[in-house]
Amino acid sequence: MNLDLNIIEISIIAGGLILGLIVGFIIANSRLNRTAQKEKENIIKEAEVKTEALKQEKILQAKEKFLQLKSEHDKSVQEKNHQISQTENKLKQKENELSKKIEENNRKDKELENLKSQAAQQIELYKQRNEEVEKLHRRQVEMLEKVSGLKADDAKAQLVESVKAEAKTQAMAYIKDIMDEAKMTANKEAKRIVIQSIQRVATETAIENSVTVFHIEGDEMKGRIIGREGRNIRALEAATGVEIIVDDTPDAITLSCFDSIRRE
């Protein structure tokens, strides 16, 4: 009987111990779970904070990279626009220069056409005047032949014979200087000698007063009369039928022609 009681007591004690252990385990386990949960929450919060910080850092880096790329892109676009603007300005400048050259060429073409037209008119006028001079000259020669009773060749021959001796004598005095001077000067000097001889014997021939000395204002006028390469003097002689002799005589030129009216 006592043994049974002891067993029961032992069983109760053992049951109490087991129950205490179970309760203690449960309590301890509950505490561990709460600690683990708290640690878990802390870890999660810390991870979230780190993740957010990393996210913000990545966002900031991405913004900085975007701003850098945008700045580089804007700079590149600006440089390209500047290059395009310079190219356009150069093209406009070349277009303007080309337009000016075209206008200048057109203007020169018009001037050339005008000059050609004027030259053609001058040539035609010169031909007409030359024909008129030739006709007038022929009429004057015919009239001279009738008045003198001599043919033109005979009159020239008599004139040459009449002045030949005196012209030769005077020419000998100048021959050394004439040989040293240029051909043009020699021709002028020879003409002057012949004219002086003609003036001395003019009363003995049928061509009296065929030479006239014309006074001019200064020797500068001689250059204008002669013109470039002798063009003016040739044109005047062709237009008037009068031989114009420009020599070293100061302030004077000599006009030689059978027709006194033409000389005047």
Q: What is the pLDDT of residues 123-166, one digit of tens each?
A: 787 778 777 777 776 776 666 556 555 555 555 555 555 555 55
Please give the Cα distance from 119 to 109 (Å, whole number). Answer: 15
Domain boundaries defined on the chain: 150-206, 209-264
Of 195, 173, 172, which is closest to residue 246 (Cα–Cα)?
A: 195
Of 37, 250, 46, 260, which is closest to residue 147 (Cα–Cα)?
A: 260
Please give the Cα distance from 166 to 168 (Å, whole number). Answer: 5
Q: What is the pLDDT of residues 66-125, one digit of tens each?
A: 888 888 888 888 988 888 888 888 888 888 888 888 888 888 878 878 877 887 787 787
User: With the C-alpha atoms ordered 130, 131, 135, 138, is the resulting torsion angle positive or negative?
Assistant: positive
Torsion of CA 180, 184, 190, 196, to 10 degrees: -120
**What is residue 212's three-state secondary structure?**
strand
Residue 243 neighbours by CB under 8 Å, 6+ apart = 237, 255, 256, 257
- pLDDT band, residue 228 (cuts 50/70/90): confident
pLDDT at 207: 44
pLDDT of 206 higher than 50: no
pTM metric for this prediction: 0.28
**What is the percent of the chain with per-residue pLDDT over 90, rounded to a whole number?**
0
Mode of pairing for the β-strands spanning 211-215 and 243-245 = unpaired
Enter the CATH code of domain 209-264. Answer: 3.30.1370.10
